[in-house]
Structure 1
Amino acid sequence: MTACQGTGSVKVTGNGDGSSASGSSSSGSGGSTTATGAKSDGSGTGTGAGGAGHGSGTAATSDRCATDNLRLHLEQGDAGAGQIHYTLVLTNQGTSSCTMNGFPGVSVMRRDGSTVGKPATRSGGQTGAVRLAPGASAHVVLHTINQGMSDAGCWTSGQLLKVYPPNNTAPATVAAPNGSFQVCGDTFDTTTVQSGAAA
């Protein structure tokens, strides 16, 4: 696909119960989100095609970075050698420090709420926990390929990304760059969370 360049922002509220969860799901510049959810103790698994799923990790429920305290921002990076990378930044906008560890769940979504394709797969190993003070950020790198790099073709474009931060079952939504996000070659993956706002 042809790499998209540009900025965009969206503020979306999502409701859900936050809990420690395990699973896989499914990645420019700029989107911001807020989502609300109630905490609960416990663990669970989340799986799914077409966008269902939960972020995975091991942070304690009482200490985790809850979705409603995170602001999400999407930036497109380089598109060298047919590879397209996006940096998804998660910033702690709460009043106390929190911990994030593991992979997010990320899916491509249309404006009507329907999902496109499958959730992002996990790329690489899981790193250690990231401690975020108020205002501090962590990030993941999302990856797909350009159109024509694979015989698999491209998915229908989406306008949003649905994101389950690690250890959360409540999603947030962030706008795609230039209003469009397309996965090609059935290649869509995410790294584990890493400290800082940039790769």
Structure 2
Amino acid sequence: MFLNTRLLSRRGLTTGLTVAAAALATAGVAWSTTATAATSAPAKTSRTSAALRTCAVNDLYLSMGRQEGAAGSLYWPIQFTNTSTSACALRGYPGVSVLDTAHRQIGPAATRSGSSYATVTLAPGHSASAVVRTTNGPIGGPCLRTGTYLRVYPPASHTATLVPARWTTCSHTFQVGPVNTDGSI
């Protein structure tokens, strides 16, 4: 487990994208920097999906998006940005739990929302997200202590990243959705 402190500089990201474009051009593949942020596609045949590797923790920069509230709930996307020089894929749910400043877990880990999901292909420099949800206050039960970090295991990973995030779980509700490109939980 490591604290996510890597910063994406515009220069570093541009350099990585330039290297990736050159590598693809050498391989005879046309590539544009205006490509979509990520693609969500149904699972491919085993022959095609075997060629695309799963994103490793070292390939990803994790950060928090913008919190939003709606209908008594609080939603906060965890963003997964591919910082490597090649495309990789994420499929399924991340593991998420709340930690205090001493890195002790507060309450149970997030449960899965039960939403359907597809494989998300991340080109270098592009992002996808998984949304965490709790109630917006003690609606059906008490709130736990406020945490300092979210411990996040990307899908198919046994290595976690600590993402700085002040999070309070309320009413015994802490859910996470699958990694996707549409912001759903």
TM-score by length of 2: 0.70
Change beyond 3 A, Cα 1:61–1:172: farther
- Aligned pair count reads 142
Q: What is the CA distance between 1:136 and its match in structure 2?
A: 1.0
Q: Does 1:70 align with 2:60?
A: yes
> What are the superposed Cα offsets for residues 135-158 of structure 1, whole Å, 9 maximum, x if unpaired?
1111011100022311x2011111
Q: What is the CA distance between 1:78 and its match in structure 2?
A: 2.0
Within a 5 Å distance, the mapping from 1:1-199 to structure 2 comes to 13=2, 32-33=4-5, 63-150=53-140, 152-176=141-165, 180-195=166-181, 198=183
Q: Is the 8 A contact 2:135 2:173 kept in 1?
A: yes
Q: Is the 8 A contact 1:78 1:85 kept in 2?
A: yes
Change beyond 3 A, Cα 1:60–1:113: farther
Q: Is the 8 A contact 1:66 1:168 kept in 2?
A: yes
Distance 1:159 1:185 in 2: 19
Query: Unmatched 5+ residue regions in structure 1?
Result: 1-11, 15-31, 35-58
Q: Which has the higher contact order (CA 8 A, sep 6+)?
A: 1
Identity %: 34
Change beyond 3 A, Cα 1:61–1:88: farther
Change beyond 3 A, Cα 1:33–1:140: farther
1:45 matched residue in structure 2 = none
Cα-Cα RMSD? 2.2
Q: What is the CA distance between 1:77 and its match in structure 2?
A: 2.7
Distance 2:51 2:112 in 1: 22
3-state SS of the aligned residue for 1:159? strand
Query: Unmatched 5+ residue regions in structure 2?
Result: 7-48
In our comparison, the structure showing a higher alpha carbon Rg is 2
Q: Is the 8 A contact 2:52 2:87 kept in 1?
A: no
Moved >3 Å (runs of 4+): 59-62
Higher helix residue share:
2
Choose 67-76 or 112-121, whichever is displaced more: 67-76
